[in-house]
Amino acid sequence: MNTSKSPATNRPLSPFMIGPYYRPQLTSMLSITHRATGVGLSAGMLFLACWLVAIASGPEAYAKFAVHVTAWYGQLILLGFSWSLLYHLCNGIRHLFWDIGKGLDISTAYKSGYAVVVVSGLLTVAAWALAYLR
Amino acid sequence: MSLRSPLGRARGLGSAKDGTHHFWVQRVSAVALIPLALWFVFSVANLPGASYEQVHWWVGYPAVAVTLVLLIASALYHSMLGVQVVIEDYVGHEGMKITALLLSKFFHFAVAAASIFAVLKIALT
């Protein structure tokens, strides 16, 4: 078989969803955000490890770590971490429903998409309200 | 050359030889993480203002320590599976892909080991 003339070698590829080929849509933006928050959370696990190691290392190590966490940039990272976690969680539940074949039609996918944006935002506000107003 | 049809191969374990295992364990860890992650976010949101001794006591409290270990294990397992798919999707060069996959595996195991060791040290000392 002549593989160089095989149709598999010049099979057209589906273009990446971000770029000139597709109009930005809520569904595709939520999809790439799911992936981005997932990768961000993987890096965030290092942050969690540092916190636990600091506690295990004693009061001096913990105080050094706490200085950065309570600073504005530390709080900003924590805000990003908490929203990423809650967004990935809400959108993950949406994915689990799709996995059992529910909510795959366009109108439901949009409704659940807006619900994910609203609920993840509200949960983030609730967590920070608990942290600051307690 | 195999005489099996593409459908016949797909009904077996497919080209990756592990069938639907990756898909399934990613969902199992996802379901486990729903309660664990919600518990974690709202517990940590309750900690600001706590002294070192209070935070140490909280992490070391048996039920909390066990739940933290479960969270760390499922989160890093889920993360490892997810990052694997991202690398397989975007890294085209075979050597770079294998290097990235190895680095990701080592990173996840190292972070899991350090986190779990820290929780155990806090709980047991």
ipTM of the complex: 0.87
Q: What is the chain B residue with the closest CA to A99?
A: B27
Counting residues of chain A whose pLDDT is more than 70, the rounded percentage is: 93
The minimal CB distance from B75 to the residues A45, A92, A126 is found for A45
A59 touches chain B (CB under 8 A): yes
For the record, the structure tokens of A122 come out as: 């509200």
For the ranges B16-30, B50-64, B104-118, which has the lowest average pLDDT?
B16-30
CB–CB of A56 and B121 under 8 A? yes
Most confidently modeled range among B20-24, B48-52, B68-72 = B68-72
At A70-87, the pLDDT tens digits run 999 999 999 999 999 999
What was the pLDDT predicted at B100?
97
What was the pLDDT predicted at B1?
63
For the record, the structure tokens of B60 come out as: 């070391």
What integer is the mean pLDDT of A109-115?
A: 97
What was the pLDDT predicted at A1?
44
How high does pLDDT run on average in chain A?
Answer: 91
Q: With the CA atoms of B24, B30, B36 and B39 taken in that order, what torsion angle do they form, in degrees rounded to the nearest 10?
A: -160
